[in-house]
């Protein structure tokens, strides 16, 4: 079966944290990968409260370099250093990330006892790929370089074991040929791969944080199983959202519908809406019913 993807929200506030919401941080877990998307202030404590081990992080994806999305980096790196972190930590981000990281590492001067590889994403599209999955990015509009990200488990060709049994095909090296979609021959009898296999669809998680609503979002998040989107403003504050280069909950709902996404999770919630979350939720649900607002430590499995 296709691998499951777990999304854990470690922080769901906007620019100002509240008693209930920490600054942004989203942990995506799939098999051995533990990918942290943004690293808001206090993220290392959020790991502890969630009873998660930050030492399992494999990659960090930074959407942009505004403080509420990166102020947790110095503390997290220090924690990893004193926890004998023994992996290579890959940090990806938009243009300027290498310079910011160089300055950060010089300023805080923590024990450099593990390797950090920093990669700037110079163009949209796939920037990391292996046999199981790929990670894509798209440039957003937020006044400074800003990226959206999609984590995509690839489609897999699977062998239908019941059809193998019916055709009386034994175990053997020929099964690896079927998995590649190649026809096989056994004792002079030919078997077509298309009759013995099926395509197992992959999964897609898309994360769009701080950005002005723009024409790139819908094609980028198209067919997402889970679409995580910022919701810094309600539709009543549409002009303010434009002024600050953010999206509204209503716009997120429209994108989810037009992109044929399966589920929408709203995050990056401003303190002004904490007492009227229902209004924000209804704003999105006008266009897309399968919507939830994330709370700190909420977990979703796809």
Catalytic residue IDs:
68
DSSP secondary structure letter of residue 85: -
Read off φ and ψ for residue 20, nearest 5 degrees: -105, -20
Dihedral angle, C-alpha 237, 238, 241, 243, nearest 10 °: -110
DSSP for 172-238, written as a single string:
STHHHHHHTT--EEETTEEE-GGGTEEEE--EEEEEE-S----TTHHHHHTT-SEEEEE--B-GGGH
CB contact at 8 A, 242 and 206: no
Residue 214 to residue 255: CA distance in whole angstroms: 10
Backbone phi and psi for residue 8, each to the nearest 5 degrees, phi listed first: -120, 125
Any idea how long the chain is?
A: 302
Question: What's CA 194's distance to the chain center, in Å?
Answer: 33
What's the N-to-C CA distance of the chain in angstroms? 12
DSSP 223-274: T-SEEEEE--B-GGGHHHHHHTT--BHHHHHHHHHHTT-S-EEEE-B-GGGG
Angle between helices 277-285 and 249-258 (to 10 degrees): 30
């Amino acid at each position: 079966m296709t691998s499951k993807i777990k999304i854990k929200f470690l922080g769901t506030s906007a620019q100002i944290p509240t008693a209930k919401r920490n600054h942004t941080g989203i942990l995506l877990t799939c098999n051995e990968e533990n990918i942290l998307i943004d690293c808001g202030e206090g993220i290392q404590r959020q790991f502890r409260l969630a009873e998660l081990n930050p030492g399992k992080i494999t990659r960090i994806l930074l959407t942009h370099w505004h403080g509420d999305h990166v102020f947790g980096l110095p503390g997290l790196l220090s924690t990893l250093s004193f926890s004998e972190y023994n992996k290579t930590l890959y940090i990806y981000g938009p243009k300027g990330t290498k310079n910011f990281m160089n300055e950060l590492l010089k300023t805080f001067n923590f024990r450099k006892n593990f390797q950090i590889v920093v990669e700037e994403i110079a163009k949209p599209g796939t920037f990391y790929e292996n046999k199981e999955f790929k990670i894509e990015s798209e440039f957003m509009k937020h006044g400074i370089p800003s990226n959206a990200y999609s984590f995509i488990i690839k489609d897999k060709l699977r062998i239908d074991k019941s059809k193998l049994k019916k055709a009386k095909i034994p175990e053997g090296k020929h099964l690896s040929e079927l998995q590649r979609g190649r026809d096989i021959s056994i004792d002079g009898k030919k078997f077509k791969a298309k009759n013995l296999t099926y395509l197992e669809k992959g999964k897609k998680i898309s994360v769009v944080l701080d950005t002005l609503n723009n024409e790139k979002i819908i094609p980028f998040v198209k067919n997402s199983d889970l679409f995580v989107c910022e919701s810094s403003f309600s539709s009543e504050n549409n002009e303010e959202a434009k002024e600050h280069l953010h999206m509204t909950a209503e716009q997120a709902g429209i994108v989810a519908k037009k992109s044929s996404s399966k589920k929408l999770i709203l995050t990056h919630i401003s303190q002004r809406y904490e007492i009227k979350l229902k209004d924000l939720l209804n704003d999105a649900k006008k266009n897309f019913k399968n919507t939830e607002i994330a709370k700190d430590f909420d977990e979703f499995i796809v």
